[in-house]
Structure 1
Amino acid sequence: MWGIRRAGQRLASVVLSVLSAVALCGTAIVPAGATAHGPVLDRDFPDPDVVEVDGTYHAYATNSGGRNTTHATSRDLTHWTFHDADALPELGSWAVAEPRGRVWAPEVFDNGTGLTMLYTARDRASDRQCIGVALSATPDGPFRPTGDGPLICPAAEGGAIDAASHSEGGQRYVLWKNDGNCCGRDTWIHLQRASRDGTRLTGEPIRLLGRDRDWEGDLVEAPTLVKRRDGGYLLLYSAHSYAGDAYATGYAVADRLTGPYTKAAAPLMTTASFDGTVRGPGGQDVVTGPDGRDRILFHGWSADRTRRALYAADLGYADGHPVVRGSRVSHQAEDAQVHRAVVREADRARGGRAVGHLDHPDSHVEFRVFAASAGRHALSVRFGNGSLDGSGAPASASHLLTVNGVDSGAVEYPHTGWDHWQEAGTTIALREGWNTVRLSKGERYAELDAVDVA
């Protein structure tokens, strides 16, 4: 155990194989239901950052309850102890201390001789949010400000917020977002060289990622950068307005640290992808748990909108893309292995195509799906059924279900009419990693649009 570890820097190896559900040009993995048991810390804890110190996980978050930053600890990432003391009781002399509420998104990392905290606060000179530095000998703090001014403060670009850190080859980097949405400007996530302790910048900022998708709204922010063991890079980020359900988490991949970064076709975590059980998921971080399995930690709004609580879920990897345990993962039927059936153009189907004519005893569609960890998962089958019985009346239909070669019963479908797609659900047992899910000819003649695995 090498002391304090920045969460994302211990990300496990990424699988490099072909999964159509997460191809950058196709339907991205979208999670839903990863937090069936609710938040792991049910109090206001937005923009969590997590580090490990000798087996204890320390999480830091945006101001709450009159504190500049909040702090909690855990041994297992599930049971958390909240600490009343403010980890950053004083701000740098450059920052406006009152009114409170302007200290955001702390980032803490091991600097070799202690710990560094990067934090966002209001710069008195420019009246913009900017990034400052504080130091502490221990993760409990208190962190004490250092420097006569902010570390990063591009006032003409709206200031800077949401610092993150990354280290490789002995070089420290700081990621940050210019806060252009504050004042009618565009937003970018930047990468910049810094000293080992993060108190000085040693290079010019490099733009990694901007806003160019409808779901991102007016901004991108909250970067988390991970170097994969194959040498590639994964950049997680949040987008849209933090105050509403549209706030979401996306990601992009690159072969080099400085890019270019290619975004996934759809966000990784959204309110809809969680089926509304988590609202506005974002501010994410990644950490390896005590069992060696990676977790993603993030915030989401409570039902009464009074707090952004802390959530955690298992995280796995397929095709260089993140997969969240319990997440709704969409797989198109036409992209699966189709045997003795027909891919056809289909009105109102996802992607405009579906699989029909599963009419023979050996007709089937087999999906290859990835699970971040073993256990029961929800299977939702999007089907259309226009079958009639012998008298010409609408009739139900079914497909036989096989999981990893094991008979798992059948999925029953009520009559919907052709090209009127609905969902039928069941639960299946998946092993960690890759699995096969096969739907075969059952009663009558239902068609398949897609399956979602949660």
Structure 2
Amino acid sequence: MSSPSDDAVHPHYGSRKHSFTGYPMSNMAQRQHGQDGTDESIPLTPGAGHMEGTNSTLSHSTEDPKAMDTSYPARSHTKPVGLLRHLTTPFTSRPAPAVPALRHAQTMEATKLTFFQRHFTKPVDKDPEKEYVSQNRRFTFRSHGSLLVAAIMLLIILGGVIEGALSVALPHRSRAPAGSTPQNPTPPPPNSLGSPIRAALDDNFPDPDVTFHNGTYYAFATNNAAGIIQRPDNTTGYDYGSSNVQIATSTDFLTWHLLNSTHDPLPDVGDWVIPGMTEIPPKIPKANVWAPAVIQRPSDNKFIMYYSANKRNGTEAEGRHPPPHCIGSAISRTASPAGPYDPLNNTLACPLDQGGAIDPAAFKDKDSTLYVAYKVDGNNIGHGGLCGNTKAPLVPTPIMLQRMAPDGVTNDGAPIQLLDRIAADGPLIEAPALVLSPAGVYFLFYSSGCTRSPSYNVNYATAPSVTGPYTRAGDPLLQTGDWDLLAPGSVGVVGDGRGGYDMVFHARVAAPQGRIRAMFTTKLKFEGHSVEVERDNGTATAAGA
């Protein structure tokens, strides 16, 4: 075997033949501590072959690269003192010269690493030769890739925290957590910027319904003595219970005017209703009219009012609290929704054995067929608990649909059931309202929970036909805590004449009359089988649907 050539390339140091002639330190004088304890200047000249004051030469040639270490000048064992310590630099502490071949090999190895290995791993063995060997690299959270991902995640979390803080600081701009209860259930300002909810009336205006005719909105409601919680003794200043039906008007859906009892659209409630006034002050009508609804019939353009009232039948009403309601109808004397209305002396729905019927809602389908949806008031004969129906066995409270003849006051066939309460609804479902969306989807709005508690809310279900089947939405449209509302529910919906939809509803607020149900308004935006509330910044311009 032939011996290696002197010119062969060493894998670490290049040429096998080395000649070291000193480090270039131009025009510098290094202080070297002598053997006799004296200091002497040692001039270093680039390319010098030896260093004065030492016994070792700086020029050598060897086959062993490590022999370079022995050619460095011997380091004095006498400890340098003073400034000399900082001026004296042992040659053995100098870094080895850069090796181009090694750097080239490392670069080639680095190009073989994957993106993940380059940015999310670090070498286990710190040997420079193995730094870019894939088998020597392991994932670590201290890699710059991991640190970058962690920083991005931290920013996302921080953004969520900031968003949550803003939602708390600006409660009218976003929904509060489900089930939360406002500490002060008072109406938000009517024109709160960013809120889709507007306070319309701060009087007791429960179960509102709305229609639109000749540029004016007409809202109708339960008599103002109904359902007040924590009512004070003095109520004479609020026209308390004087009207069977309340009415309010608006020309822009923003500013509302509540009319007094002299404008009662239903001064006579019909012979089937309990007559007279209560004996215990404050005296109010025994009829206890609830949840009126108005619609214009196509045959003569007159308006039909549907309403529920206490049935004149003492025997069947005994032991019930409150007395059972039934649903009747009345026809306007003129082609104005303001009335007055003349009642018919028969009922449309009166299932006394099931608890009665309340909350009528009028609906005209796309073929002009009229319908009335209503609730069977099963919780009225419940076995106790919240709203009379949270103690077993629970009683059904189904929402029914009655098809009407063209006159709007004669039933056309038997009613059908659209929906009934389930466990998640609590004691009941009630207050139906039907809407046909622009996409041809039927929306059934309804309330669940109990109107006297924060559980009351607004839900909806959708169907391909007015008769169903209806599929419930996953989340409520409105619930306690949304935009500072308390127990929102019982909606009425009408077209705004511009392709949009306006909605009225009530929610609990604190007022001098007690905990009343004030009226609020919003607009609806339909998207396929979902709907959401949105802010109304416009006014109506044409006749509504």
TM-score range, shorter chain: 0.5 to 0.7
Q: Residue 272 of structure 2 aligns with which residue?
A: 94
**Conservation of the 8 A alpha-carbon contact between 1:35 and 1:313:** no
Q: CA deviation at 1:321?
A: 1.0
Measure the CA separation in 2 of the matches of 1:197 and 1:204.
17
Q: Residue 235 of structure 2 aligns with which residue?
A: none
Once the two structures are superposed, the pairs formed by residues 123-272 of structure 1 within 5 Å of their partners are 123-125=311-313, 126-127=316-317, 128-136=324-332, 137=334, 138-147=336-345, 149-168=346-365, 169-184=367-382, 185-214=395-424, 216-272=425-481
Per-residue CA shift, 1:358-408, capped at 9, x if unaligned? xxxxxxxxxxxxxx989xxxxxxxxxxxxxxxxxxxxxxxxxxxxxxxxxx
Per-residue CA shift, 1:49-79, capped at 9, x if unaligned? 1111111111100011221110011001111
For residue 303 of structure 1, give the secondary structure of its aligned residue in structure 2.
Answer: strand
Larger radius of gyration: 2
Letter in 2 for 1:164: A
Q: CA deviation at 1:288?
A: 3.1
Letter in 1 for 2:433: T
Q: Residue 335 of structure 1 aligns with which residue?
A: none
Letter in 1 for 2:380: C
**Conservation of the 8 A alpha-carbon contact between 1:234 and 1:253:** yes
Letter in 1 for 2:443: L
Once the two structures are superposed, the pairs formed by residues 330-345 of structure 1 within 5 Å of their partners are none
Measure the CA separation in 1 of the matches of 2:306 and 2:534.
30
Q: Gaps (5+ residues) in structure 2?
A: 1-172, 177-186, 191-197, 225-239, 279-284, 318-323, 383-394, 539-545
Q: CA deviation at 1:111?
A: 1.7
Measure the CA separation in 1 of the matches of 2:469 and 2:510.
38
Letter in 2 for 1:80: W
Q: Residue 503 of structure 2 aligns with which residue?
A: 296
Q: Residue 32 of structure 1 aligns with which residue?
A: 175
**Conservation of the 8 A alpha-carbon contact between 2:447 and 2:456:** yes
Q: Residue 74 of structure 1 aligns with which residue?
A: 250
What do you get for the CA RMSD once the two structures are aligned? 2.3
Measure the CA separation in 1 of the matches of 2:249 and 2:174.
26
Relative contact order, CA 8 A, sep 6+: which one is greater? 1
Per-residue CA shift, 1:319-365, capped at 9, x if unaligned? 32111126xxxxxxxxxxxxxxxxxxxxxxxxxxxxxxxxxxxxxxx
Q: Residue 342 of structure 1 aligns with which residue?
A: none
**Conservation of the 8 A alpha-carbon contact between 1:104 and 1:162:** yes
Measure the CA separation in 2 of the matches of 1:246 and 1:163.
22
Per-residue CA shift, 1:4-32, capped at 9, x if unaligned? xxxxxxxxxxxxxxxxxxxxxxxxxx973
| Residue from 292, 296, 317 that aligns with 1:106 | 292
**Conservation of the 8 A alpha-carbon contact between 2:212 and 2:496:** no
Q: CA deviation at 1:91?
A: 0.9
Measure the CA separation in 2 of the matches of 1:170 and 1:55.
22
Change (3 A) 1:88 1:311: same
For residue 510 of structure 2, give the secondary structure of its aligned residue in structure 1.
Answer: coil
Change (3 A) 1:73 1:158: same
Change (3 A) 1:31 1:292: farther
Measure the CA separation in 2 of the matches of 1:298 and 1:280.
10
Q: Residue 285 of structure 1 aligns with which residue?
A: 492
**Conservation of the 8 A alpha-carbon contact between 2:435 and 2:442:** yes
For residue 307 of structure 1, give the secondary structure of its aligned residue in structure 2.
Answer: strand
**Conservation of the 8 A alpha-carbon contact between 1:58 and 1:73:** yes
| Residue from 84, 101, 115 that aligns with 2:303 | 115
Q: Gaps (5+ residues) in structure 1?
A: 1-29, 327-371, 375-454
Higher helix share: 2
Measure the CA separation in 1 of the matches of 2:414 and 2:174.
36
For residue 219 of structure 2, give the secondary structure of its aligned residue in structure 1.
Answer: strand
For residue 337 of structure 2, give the secondary structure of its aligned residue in structure 1.
Answer: coil
**Conservation of the 8 A alpha-carbon contact between 1:35 and 1:312:** no
Higher strand share: 1
**Conservation of the 8 A alpha-carbon contact between 1:31 and 1:270:** no
Per-residue CA shift, 1:120-142, capped at 9, x if unaligned? 00011243210011111222211
Measure the CA separation in 1 of the matches of 2:370 and 2:435.
13
Letter in 1 for 2:532: V
- Number of equivalences: 296
**2:205 is aligned with 1:45:** yes
Q: CA deviation at 1:213?
A: 4.1
Q: CA deviation at 1:278?
A: 1.5
For residue 295 of structure 1, give the secondary structure of its aligned residue in structure 2.
Answer: strand
Q: Which moved more, 1:286-295 or 1:257-266?
A: 286-295
**Conservation of the 8 A alpha-carbon contact between 1:55 and 1:290:** no
Measure the CA separation in 1 of the matches of 2:175 and 2:494.
20
Measure the CA separation in 1 of the matches of 2:418 and 2:497.
32
Q: Residue 322 of structure 1 aligns with which residue?
A: 531
**Conservation of the 8 A alpha-carbon contact between 1:176 and 1:223:** yes
**Conservation of the 8 A alpha-carbon contact between 1:31 and 1:324:** no
Letter in 2 for 1:307: I
**Conservation of the 8 A alpha-carbon contact between 2:437 and 2:526:** no
Q: CA deviation at 1:297?
A: 1.1
**Conservation of the 8 A alpha-carbon contact between 1:31 and 1:268:** no
Per-residue CA shift, 1:282-307, capped at 9, x if unaligned? 11112233665422211111135432
Q: CA deviation at 1:82?
A: 1.2
Measure the CA separation in 1 of the matches of 2:328 and 2:341.
12
Q: Which moved more, 1:203-212 or 1:309-318?
A: 309-318
**Conservation of the 8 A alpha-carbon contact between 2:502 and 2:523:** yes
